[in-house]
Structure 1
């Protein structure tokens, strides 16, 4: 009976859709549950951002094989925006998967049939139960032989507060803060104002570049870039050494704008409090420094939502909240994207058999995820679920080097010999991964 049950995939983003394509190719029943109103709903929220991965790095092999039967042809060159990624690839893939995808289906809990997390007896023999709150109608429950959580981290951005918690007053000033890369094609609200960008990843770099271009055209537009670290270190990336040229160009251009005075760079600024001053916000650092801003763009990374997995037995790294067997390989204090090894089913396995975290969620709070990494994960996981151990163990991934492979360095160091993590959430030139900028 259990083998007749579907594999439930949580999330219809790039990795969730790819997982479904692999399951279909292996003739395994699958249901994809997507909380949004459309497939790739999270990607749609940063659709204006251009990725810094080229098309061949953004398409899963099994998905391409499924789509080729419809006459679809894969783009071979260029750097798409999120909107183009959806229109050209993700939406056709979702259409090919058809009614296997359920939209407006938010997962509220995953457990074992008749077993809470305390019960050992017969646990592994019981199917999973997946509780779903639909956009309309009453909550329902599905049974599944396996669960692949590809829900990502987009819905849970990190706060401005430097201690990982919202700064004092941050929630009350929420209307003055944005936790996504704004669509700067609409200049209203930014032109002629002072914006503070908090964060050091490619998402932050993308926002800084867009604002700096506004400032170059209109001197009344000003931008401050606030870093928590004591030095800029390798914030500007690997430059010409980056094997993803578009990603390397981001950092080089940002440095040029800072050097030209179009962007004020502030280091060691760790937000403790946010206060309102009329229609402006005042950011107060732990050391007492203050920055007044008309707008604040907070791009400090993302974290996984583990709340609906509370009844499952998970083994996660205490620092990154990622599967323990991959944590050492993805720790941004040690690795950049290019120095991270491929991860497969054996690395992602949990004490709860047949449950897997994949995609950006498998990286927990590490910002070094790439789309290619996720495609390799789901290929291996689906092979394992199909009983193809040889394919599950095989590594079919080669990642480009970032040119920055020394880790993040010492947080309070003041020298220039720091390493740097290669990616972070969404950017204007993204790479596909956890967010536009790191894709």
Structure 2
């Protein structure tokens, strides 16, 4: 066998090699090999066809009937759907990157078949693009393309993912426990697919470029299917005795909040706002909303579940939508306030109140107070305080059985 470079200059590109007639070749990291196929010993699964074309380690390829692609492992027909990079089901706010070359090469342009691409500010082996799926999914594979605008593409990359309630990323590894290197693209527009074996369970996927042609640029689609319908953290507000910022403003507009995953956890003193969910509430088809209060020791104090069907980011919080609560009287009484906005003149938000009767006789169930009108129970500064009735009924805010929570979380389920 002979293998010679042609007139091109990049020896890692398969298009730059000329092979002798009669051979079957496949690209490895730095060379081409000619290896006999082994389909006589391979079962690619029902409906799939083994092709005597060796992969990078001299084995075989399966022609997958469900997708039409060649792959090491054919995925289940039921779990190979594109998850929304190309279609737009994944919103721009769910896509991020290590850096961006310019406004023309943003992370949000790194969508499969988009007329452009994502490109990092500088070409380096730490450049990444990440997709936050919000809900846990079975991730079965990934598709990539180069940059539609210029001759740039990722030749190799690694894939890592974040598990539900995970603090960091977990890399997909090879047989030696090292981050697995996936072969990338050879040109601007051809699509390359890799299926994962085993399938991974994740809420976010990150692709890190490790080798590239001209620049670290790419377009991506994630393949898989959703798992179940678990609760997803939409918000966390924290009560700090002094110097705390408004929980209400963080919920409404994100003021002094973070959308970083690390701040979903109760240990963080920063408000957390899940921007994709809050900014696209109706699109996600919210079915249920759960409001939970936690103590200074991060122990759950109470939980109220609301029907979220057909609601907005404020209308879910109403007596008509309550499905369960710790208060026996809340479905059979009247209110002077039951709303997220509450009594804005006094800074009383997420307010469930029975009646006013002067500061010593105000009576209710829940309040995020950010005012000082009734110092008897609201205090002397505007740092938010989360007060709630510890009894099974409404209580007087001043002298009743009232508790103080350190944090309030709002979780949602989607249709």
TM-score normalised by the chain length of structure 1: 0.25
Bigger fraction of residues in helix: 1
Q: Which has the larger radius of gyration?
A: 2
TM-score normalised by the chain length of structure 2: 0.26
Structure showing greater relative contact order (alpha-carbon pairs closer than 8 Å, 6 or more residues apart): 1
Bigger fraction of residues in strand: 2
